[in-house]
Each structure stands twice: as structure tokens, then as C-alpha cells.
Structure 1
């Protein structure tokens, strides 16, 4: 049986105190994973074929376009043909757990591959060697076909219920992400409205339209006042009582003044009071 050197933590005691110390020991070596080695080799072959396809297509299409434009522009445009269907294939791989999302990049990749093959075939015809054009176009088809086989092999099969469950999880995550810019937009809109009102009212105006006086600063912030309390009064009472955190101030305002008070409104009163 083959062995390999491994590091193992073992207890070691000196003067009654035990510590775990590393010790090198001989451990059984795991068997060679031939499946993984073969898959790695096939992936390397697919990468080599893809590279050859990109080089051939770029050279053929670039030479075709160079008949009408300068060579740097011609070859820069030529490489787009292969990069387009390669990018679609990568997006299809990212959406491998969702057939609905993977369908669009799959179809787009086939269309872009066909365009690249037609361009390579057209170069062969223009150059007077249509056979070479057909063979060169087949190189791109072989490269995409090989990568399709490799990626499909590495995609785990999922039943319909599992796919539906994954789609639900992705939908929940997408909804959470979508709320982030929406909240930012709402905050910007509220800030613009507050700034517009402050600019119209003037710097010395009271943002509280009620105009009611504040309560005694020594009042207990945990006890609701005898009469109705405005948001401004509640904020000032909380600040005078030593409550400085905006979240705690908002909680106190909800308790004694207005249960629907906004965080932005409370923070504005805190700034004015400061």
C-alpha cells in the first residue's frame, strides 16, 4: 500500500501541561482519481482547440476585412466574431441551473457561431480556395461542439422540483438586490424633498408645522406626555434625556408621538437640535 507523509497533531505533556504538537506520520495515500485526471485533460484539449479556432478565425476574417480597411481595424473586428459566441457560451454555463435563462445565450451563441463560420467560408471563397474556407469554418464548429460536450458533462442533472426550488431561491435573492437601488432612490427623493422645503421656508424656519412648544427637558423620556406630542418635541425630549442614537430616538418617537414617523425626519430634527 502506498503511503504519504502527513502532519498530525498529537498530545505532548511536560510538567503536567499537555499541548497538541505537530508530528509527521506516514498515512495511506489516496488512490489516483482517474476520472478527475481525464476530465482535466479533456478540458485542456478543449482549451487548446478553442485557442486554435480563435487564431484561425481571426487570421481568416482579418485578412478578408483587410481588403477594405487597415489591418489593425480589420483584425480587431475579426476577433469579435469568436469572442461573441465564446462569451455566450460562458453565460450559458453560468445559467446552467436555470434552463429558461440559459436558453437565450445558447441560441445567441449558435447564431454568432454561424456568422463566424460564414465569414471564414467567405474568406476562402474570395481567396479562391473554397475547400479551405469550409474546413476553416468547421474548426469553429468543432471548438464549440467540444466545449458544449465538456460543459454539459460537468452540469449536474436536476429534476423539475429541484430546479423550481432553485429558481425560487434566486428570485428571493434577486428581489433583495432589486430593493437596494429602490431604497437608495427613495432616500434621494426624500432628501431632495426635504432640501426643497428647507430652501423655500428659509434657514430660520421651524420644520415642524404644528409650532407647538417643547416639553420640560427634565421630563422622563419613557413616559408619554399628558397631551399630544409632536415629532420635534419627542426628539428634543429624547436628546435632553441623553438619548443620542438615531435608532433609539426614532423608537421613542414611535412610542410617544407618531408611529409612522420617518427616519429621515427624525434625523433632520436631531441635526437642527444639535
Structure 2
């Protein structure tokens, strides 16, 4: 059995002049090593080979397709940037396959899309070889892309753990529940924003200034009331004049006094002045 030595620390009592303190003390411990996990090592090596192969394929395809697109007289930067889309399309689909490896139904769509992108990539590489009078080289480059995709699919199929039908249904139900919670959270945030905007607009409308420069309008029931004609200096004087004219309804007093003053008087101010007038009476 293989072992390794680890340096650890512990607290031990240490006394000087009759005073004891806990101090750190280092010591060595021999720990047995677990056996090598060759399955994991082999899988890691296979993934490394696939990653290296994908890198080579991307460089080759981008170089070939970029050279093909340059023939259209576009900028080389634009041509080679567009060429990366051919390889990145099916590689992104491969990543989606990996994320959906436990869902046989969910993996079909990215796998089918990946085959379409791969076919376009291989066809473009073959066309470049044919136009460059090296059709055989183009075919070999296309086979490299197909081989990298096939190798990745084999590794993915080995890594994906199959689920029985009941477990698969349970996972689908749980995923739907979590997805529903996320969707409801987003919907609530959206409704909160809309309600906040509506409340702000309503508040702005309620506090908007009166468009009538002569002051507030009288209601239809006040048509026969003659507003105060003599000038007033402040709200208190305007309220007192209306009160002395025989009108004791606070809402009516507020409207008539505001009309005479030429600006809006708050209901709270009118109530305060009316209370004072009642006490004086």
C-alpha cells in the first residue's frame, strides 16, 4: 500500500514561569494513498485528445474556409472571422449535447443541428480544395472534422449515464417545476416594474398644476355663487371673506377662496382657518 507523509498542526499546552498557554505544534502523519483510478485517467486522456483534435480542426477549417471567402474580394479579417462560424456552430452544439447528456429527448435537437453545421463545414472545406486544385486535400480536411465529431460522440455516449423511464420522468417534472419558479420570478419582476410606472404616472397626473390661469373652476352646483371680487392678500384673508359671505362648506370655501386668491389653497389650510373662525364666532 502506498502512503504519503502530511505535515499537520495541533495545539499543545506550553508552560513558562507557571503560566500555561496553548501553542501550535507541527507533527507528521502517514496517510495511505487510494489506488489509482485508471478509468478516470483514461477518460481524462480521451477528453484531452478530443480537445486537441477539435483545436486542430478549428484551425484547419478556419484557414481553408477563410481562404475560400477571401476569393470574394472581402477583407481578410471579415473572411476569416466568418469562417470561424462554420466550426464554432457544430462545436457549440456539441457543448449543448454534453449538458443534455442525461436527457435522451433533449439531446436530439442539438445533435441534429450539429450534424447540419458539420455538413456545411465539411462541404466548404471540400469546395476550397476543389477550387485550389487540391480536392484530395480538401476531402482529407473534411474527414478530419467528421472524425473529431465522431470521436466526441463516442466519448459522450460513454460518459452519459442512462436513466430508467421513471427516473427520467421524475427529472423532467422537477426541471419543469424549477423552470416554472424561474418564469414566475421573471414575470413578477416585470409586473412590479409595470405597476411602479403606472403608479408614478398616476401620481404625476394627480399633482399636475391647474391649466386654468384664473384658478380652479367652480362645479355646476356653484354656478349661482358670485366669487369674491375685491383683492385679497393671502389665503387666510380669502377664507375669511368667503366665511363672512355666509358659505360654511369647507370644499366650497376652498374653491371660492382659491378663485379669489388666484392660486390653489390646500384643504388642510382651509380646515385650519375654518376651525379658527368657528372658535372666534
Structure 1 partner of 2:153:
148
Answer with 77-86 or 150-159: which moved more.
150-159
Structure 1 partner of 2:272:
none
TM-score by length of 1: 0.68
2: CA distance, partners of 1:160 / 1:22: 55
Higher radius of gyration, 1 or 2: 2
Q: Does 2:54 correspond to 1:50?
A: yes
Q: Does 2:92 correspond to 1:93?
A: no
Q: Does 2:40 correspond to 1:39?
A: no
Structure 2 partner of 1:72:
77
Structure 1 consecutive aligned stretches of length 4 or more whose deviation exceeds 4 Å? 7-22
2: CA distance, partners of 1:63 / 1:202: 67
After superposition, the Cα gap between the structure-2 partners of 1:192 and 1:72, relative to the gap in structure 1 and judged at 3 Å, is closer
Write out per-residue CA displacement over residues 196-223 of structure 1, whole angstroms, 9 at most, x where no aligned residue: 332333379xxxxxxxxxxxxxxxxxxx
Q: Which runs of 5+ in 2 are unaligned?
A: 210-281
Write out per-residue CA displacement over residues 99-137 of structure 1, whole angstroms, 9 at most, x where no aligned residue: 222221111000000000000011111111221111110
Q: Which runs of 5+ in 1 are unaligned?
A: 205-274
Q: Does 2:87 correspond to 1:82?
A: yes
1: CA distance, partners of 2:7 / 2:171: 40
Structure 1 partner of 2:200:
195
Q: What RMSD in Å do the two structures reach over aligned CA positions? A: 2.3
Q: Is the 8 A contact 2:90 2:114 kept in 1?
A: yes
1: CA distance, partners of 2:181 / 2:100: 19
1: CA distance, partners of 2:202 / 2:31: 75
Q: Does 2:187 correspond to 1:182?
A: yes
Paired residues, number: 204
Structure 1 partner of 2:213:
none
TM-score by length of 2: 0.66
